[in-house]
Structure 1
Amino acid sequence: MQSRIAYLEKERDFIKGLYSDMPQVLNMISKGALLSTLLGNFKNKLQAQLPNAYCLFIVCDKDCSQWRLQYKDSINGSLLSSNGQLVTVPQALITFAASPSCPKRHDINIQSSVDWKHWQPFFKDHGFSDASIVSVSDGQGSIYLMLAFQREETLLEGELMALALDSYASWLDAVFEREKADYQLLEDSHRDPSTGLLRRFSFDNSFGIVLKDSRRHFQRAALLSIRLLSTSKVDDAELKVLADIMQETVRDNDLIAHYDERELVMGIRIQHLEDAEIVATKLLKSLSNPRFSTNRLIRDGLSVGIAFYPEHSSLEQLHQAASFASDSLSNAPGFRFEFHGSYYGTSAELYSL
């Protein structure tokens, strides 16, 4: 009974120390403190909570091919090469990081374990006998691992170590959720959630940067005015399908915006005039797939007008020229170029001038 009471008192004190400053931690997370600041605080908190253990903090990529220490000190220096990189990574650690469904692990007798053989000199130098590990993914391709090495004579009860690992994982999860929320809020402020396309203001800013870069580096750009030929009321679900196809069809660095319910505008960087024709042809070909036959917006067709920078030096001029080129199709599906005030059906005709 006395031993049970002693353990419960120890557990009480452990939990009290672990969560005593939780309001301050939550306040820091809610205010969006820097990730490096929060991680540093968690490191100090955990090391203070586990005074008889040595905590090692490592980050690896999701493919478990790149590993780095978050914090270097006089103890872990023997694990590093002359250029500050981990010399070797034990198989136990690689296997654990590659198994996100098992976020915790406890290994005993690590000084004689084959899976830990690369670090056994390190363990023997410091008398480490056990390793407790927890992993947390940031959802962006990185895995954060915390390893608590213990000595046999000062082993912490397994339940208390598990509690410490769970707490660390919860803190990191909260931080990464906050980072994710910040990103989503930023994305929502730039993109129309109904289409996933850039909002008008964001498109203007983004394409403005493209034009500035084009002037600086003597590059070309093109603006595409894509008009819906359907006269029916625009259905948001059908429009979203069209927007998704456009994003899948064009290159990752192309900029797309939904200006109004009858026009989509796309700005792209190009090297040659025919590059814009390739994009327009690819887009119209993708939309001709029979699986979109029930989508009225796609079925009724699109007219695409294309204008070029530096022939037109501002977004307003480019948009006006592209719109005129689209109108020149007289509500017929297809694409047409505006070039020096005239309209052409292929890029080859532009070079014949």
Structure 2
Amino acid sequence: MKIETKDAVLQDAPLLDAVHESLIQRDFLLQLRKIDHVLLRHVASSTNFMSYVEQMTASLGELFPSNIRPCVLWCDKDLTHWRILNYKDWPALSDALGNVSHIPQPLATFVASPSRPFAREQNLPTRSDWSQWQDVLAEHFLDTCDLVSVQDNDKNWFTFCLFSSKLPSDSEHRMHYWAVDQALQSIPQWLKAMLVRMKTDARLQEHTNEVTGLLQPHAFDNALDMMLRDARRYFQRLAFVSVLVPSDADQDELKLLSDTLRETLRDNDLLANSSDNEFVMAMRIMQLDDAPIVAQKVQKALQKADPKQISVLSGGIKIGVALYPEQANQDKLRLASLAAANAVTENVGYRLEYYGKFVKNLDEAYDD
């Protein structure tokens, strides 16, 4: 049996420390990923923004249970109005609504310098530029502040300040700031996920596109669902049209294209631009033979448009038509019309999708 001597154990100590640190880092990253999942669930469940901020600060408290105090600041794009969002945790720094009258100059300078993704302010108790926050810093023995900022859709700023105390040993100091760096990388992603959802929520309240005046995609989808329900109930036929344009169309051209396509519609027909290079249309038709008439009407309208005003016309316009009930739901109609549009070989042309074939008229579908 081999017995380790004291000297041999001491020689292995650095290796044991490295293994121990690796295990701590692994456990921290696992906990960070769990927090990712928790916050994403909050985003998906339409949690309001302030509740989300509270969850973020609580999650940071779980990651750093004894040595981090987060302070979440909001300021306007001009950096004139500042507010602490978690003001209940910092009552001495703000009024009853979280408004802050004095911001340390290094903090304001960091927010005003968006090219710096992160910053670390150290030795705060001895710094004159943090003097008006000194009482609070001293009360909680805070020595360092790590900063990260994210700008919202209105150009306002959200800044996370992670305050921490001095640590007694080099190894604790090293591990702490490694962990802080991981959290600083995650915080912008957490915030941006919520900001994107808030922007999407706002768009869902709008029914028309501000550039083209057409239905927003979600409004088109809702209206098409009702149209399909009526078609099933009353045994009606529908035509679903995809119009593909080159992706380099600018806003003025999209507006002119929208106006051109709108002229082909009847009162109860639907039209939306589902992306910058795709328009979608839906209309009731009486019989199968009406499908090529719809496509030709759209094609002629586009051919009459002035290519000097709509330069993308020279890059090719593809029109695809799918039919209900041959395609039984909205997803199938969209996929079939896209496939038909992509089968077009002319500069401006159309194809009808009919049971997997792409034709210009329905007689071609039976030629085989």
Query: TM-score, normalized by length of structure 2?
Result: 0.52
Query: Aligned-pair distance for 1:177?
Result: 1.8
Alpha-carbon spacing, 1:106–1:31, altered in 2? closer, same or farther (3 Å): same
Kept after mapping to 2: 8 A contact 1:62/1:98: no
* Structure 1, gaps ≥5 residues long: 203-234, 246-256, 264-291, 297-353
For 1:166, which of 174, 185, 188 is the aligned residue?
A: 185
Distance 1:293 1:26, change over 3 A: closer
For residue 115 of structure 1, what is the aligned residue in structure 2? 129
Provide the residue aligned with 1:150 in structure 2: 164
How far does the alpha carbon of each residue in 1:167-188 deviate from its partner, in whole angstroms, 9 at most, with x for none? Answer: 122111111122233334554x
Distance across 2 between alignment mates of 1:95 and 1:239: 37
| Counterpart code for 2:190 | W
Q: 2:85, 2:98 within 8 Å by CA — same for their partners in 1?
A: no
Cross-structure match for 2:43: 29
SS of the residue aligned with 2:167? Answer: helix
- Structure 2 gaps, min length 5: 1-14, 220-244, 266-305, 311-368
Confirm or deny that 1:17 pairs with 2:28. no
Paired position in structure 1 for 2:213: 197
Which of residues 64, 73, 86 in structure 2 aligns to 1:71? 86
User: Does residue 54 of the first structure (1) align with residue 54 of the second (2)?
Assistant: no
The amino acid of 2:263's aligned partner reads E
Query: Is 1:178 matched with 2:177?
Result: no
Give the number of equivalent residue pairs.
222
How far did residue 102 of structure 1 move?
1.5
Is 1:96 the counterpart of 2:110? The answer is yes
- Distance verdict in 2 for CA 1:238–1:48, change over 3 Å: closer
Displacement of 1:86 after TM fit? 1.2
TM-score, L = length of structure 1: 0.54
SS in 2 for 1:96: helix
Other-structure match for 1:140: 154
1:241 is aligned, of 232, 252, 260, to 252
Q: CA deviation at 1:12?
A: 1.6
- The alpha carbon displacement at 1:53 in A equals 1.3
Q: Residue 100 of structure 2 aligns to a residue in which SS?
A: coil
Tell me if the contact between 2:35 and 2:59 (Cα under 8 Å) persists in the aligned partners: no
Change (3 A) 1:84 1:160: closer
2:103 alignment partner, SS class? coil
Query: Of the two structures, which has the highest relative contact order with CA contacts closer than 8 Å and spacing of 6 or more?
Result: 1
Mapped partners of 2:36, 2:49: distance in 1: 17
After superposition, the CA RMSD in angstroms is: 3.6
- Tell me the SS of whatever aligns to 1:153: coil
Q: Percent identity?
A: 23
| Letter of the 1:116 counterpart | W
Aligned equivalents of 1:115, 1:92: Cα separation in 2 = 7
Distance 1:294 1:178, change over 3 A: same
Q: Provide the secondary structure at the position in 1 that maps to 2:74.
A: strand
